[in-house]
Amino acid sequence: MEIQKVKSPRAGDHYFKVCHPTGLTIYLYPKESGNTTYAIFGARYGSIDNCFRRSDEPGPETVPEGIAHYLEHKLFESEDGDAFARFARTGASANAYTSFESTCYLFSCTERFMESLEILLDFVQAPYFTEETVKKEQGIIGQEIKMYDDDPQWRVLFNYLRAMYHSHPIRLDIAGTVESIAKITPEYLYRCYRTFYNLHNMALVIVGKFDQDQVLNLCDKMLKPCEPVRVDRVFQKEPETVAEPTVEERLAVALPLFQFGFKEEAGALKTEKDLAAMEILLEVLASESSPLFRRLLDGGLVNESSFSYEYFEGAGYATVMFGGESHDPEAVARAIKEEIGRLKREGVPRDDFERAKRALYGENISALNSASSIANGVLNLTLKGRELFAYIDALAQVTLEEVAEKLTILREDRSVLSVIRPL
């Protein structure tokens, strides 16, 4: 077993990266200051993984949409009962989620940590699917899909992604459709489980108060060795253009909702410093202290509580997004494009750059006081091939020139506006 101590002189913190003989990578991040210990067990497997190729097989395979989310629901069940009930007996608060690129199971607790960790390692490695239980879940998830279909925030985002992308599965609902989940069988679930829930394709992160030797001894006991199968995502070729520049729908909302943004080259921001530069640029461009936001707010075009922005990227997709409520979404989109044009012509002001850099750096250092923020940050960065302390260092080291250079990838001819208007 290989154990590496990873230190950050800048943050004054450290953690241990453990390469377990079973293939699982384990991150042990001691934090004595808080009362909560947090654990998250995640697989590099999400809703975009509907077509994949295993390294031990000759060709790709396509499966029904929504299987990753379906698996997350079903994995809590076993012949011995429900995992949530087991966690309740130890006093732990447990949850799980499926995103576009990962499926994660987590819990937090203030006592009986080792008992809860044993439950987590047990049920995630013990799939149990039957025809009867799979059919029962179809009705439950079908209702969930219909609920999200009526959710304006959900609709404005997925309308945006469908307008942005021609073929990439990021445009598909995470839970699938009522039609696609009707095709899911126990055989499909076991097939995807054995492909993606391979310990070589997973990571475990623990943050808080724990005994490292006890944790590793439990991992030695509970983790089940498996063959090192590599899984490659298979996507259709995605054009550089957007599918539709504008998309609109009417639902029961008080004010129009909008999502506006730009399609970017997937995988262009390879390093932690690339990511830091883009996030500082967005802070310069659209944070509450930016000239753009003040103009939008003073003009009554946005409100403080709903306006948001983010760089959203992953395997085969990348987009810069702005969203919120506005009585005139088109005016907000024009103002954003005009501000980007101004920064391209005049340059990013140094004062704005320094302010944004300090704000983001301080925010990330502050997050190191939260066990859940650390655990989710370590896992999400790991699954994307990045590292937490390297990202924090990049935020401190990035230059004005590196931030300004990211303006070139915000292209007006690759923008999309999605609007949900009142009925």
pLDDT digits (tens, 9 = 90+) for 22-79: 999 999 999 988 889 999 999 999 999 999 999 999 999 999 999 999 999 999 987 7
| CA-to-CA separations, 128 to 79, 221, 330, in angstroms, rounded | 7, 21, 50
Per-residue pLDDT, averaged over 244-256, amounts to 96
Whether residue 212 is predicted with pLDDT greater than 90 in this model: the reply is yes
Q: Quote the percentage of the chain above a pLDDT of 70.
A: 100
Distance of CA 39 to the CA centre of its chain: 17
Kindly report, residue by residue over 344-372, the tens digit of the pLDDT.
Answer: 999 999 999 999 999 999 999 999 999 99
Contact (CB, 8 A) for 61 and 49 = no
Indicate if 387 belongs to the active site.
no
Flag whether pLDDT at 135 surpasses 90: no
Task: Report residue 218's pLDDT band, with 50, 70 and 90 as the boundaries.
Answer: very high
The mean of the pLDDT values for the chain is 95
pLDDT at position 77 is 85
- pLDDT-based confidence at residue 226 (cuts at 50, 70, 90): confident
Annotated catalytic residue within 32, 65, 72, 77: 72
- Tell me what pLDDT residue 32 has: 86
Biggest CA–CA distance in the chain, Å, is 65
Model pTM score: 0.94
Length of the chain: 423
152-181 pLDDT per residue, tens: 999 999 999 999 999 999 999 999 999 999
> What's the pLDDT at 1?
87
Report the pLDDT value the prediction gives residue 388, as an integer from 0 to 100.
Answer: 97
Q: What is the mean pLDDT of residues 307-334?
A: 97
Residues 6+ away with beta carbon under 8 Å from 111: 91
Looking at residue 283, its pLDDT comes to: 97
pLDDT tens digits for range 177-201? 999 999 999 999 999 999 999 999 9
CA distance linking residue 206 with residue 199, whole number of Å = 16
Predicted confidence at residue 139, as pLDDT, reads 85
Q: How far is CA 46 from CA 99, 109, 314, in A?
A: 6, 26, 11
Coil, strand, or helix at residue 331? helix
> Quick check: 33 and 203 in contact, CB under 8 A?
no
CA-to-CA dists, residue 221 to 112, 118, 224, 396, angstroms = 18, 10, 8, 41
Give per-residue pLDDT as tens, 93-116: 999 999 999 999 999 999 999 999
- Alpha carbons within 13 angstroms on the beta-carbon side of residue 66 total 21
Q: What is the mean pLDDT of residues 121-125?
A: 95
Contact yes or no for 83/94 (Cβ under 8 A): yes
The span from the CA of 262 to the CA of 411, in Å, is 7
Say how far residue 129 (Cα) sits from the centre of its chain: 27
CB 105 within 8 A of CB 125: no
Contacts for 1 with CB less than 8 Å, ≥ 6 apart: 18, 19, 20, 21, 216
CB 384 within 8 A of CB 378: no
d(CA 112, CA 351): 49
Predicted local confidence at residue 136, as pLDDT = 84
- Cα(352)–Cα(407) distance, rounded to whole angstroms? 15
Give the residues across from 262 on adjacent strands: 320, 415
**Among candidate residues 155, 167, 148, the one with its CA nearest the CA of residue 418:** 155
Cα separations (Å) of 324 from 205, 360, 420? 33, 21, 11
Tell me, what's the pLDDT at 185? 94
Residue whose pair of structure tokens reads 């997973």 in the numeric block: 202
List domains and CATH numbers for the chain: 2-233 (3.30.830.10), 246-422 (3.30.830.10)
CB neighbours of residue 56 within 10 Å: 9
Q: Are 391 and 385 in contact (CB under 8 A)?
A: no
State how far the Cα of 314 lies from the Cα of 316, in Å rounded to an integer.
Answer: 6
Q: What is the DSSP string of 115-163?
A: HHHHHHHHHHT-----HHHHHHHHHHHHHHHHHHHT-HHHHHHHHHHHH
- Kindly report, residue by residue over 284-315, the tens digit of the pLDDT: 999 999 999 999 999 999 998 999 999 999 99
Give the whole-angstrom CA distance, residue 249 versus residue 166. 19
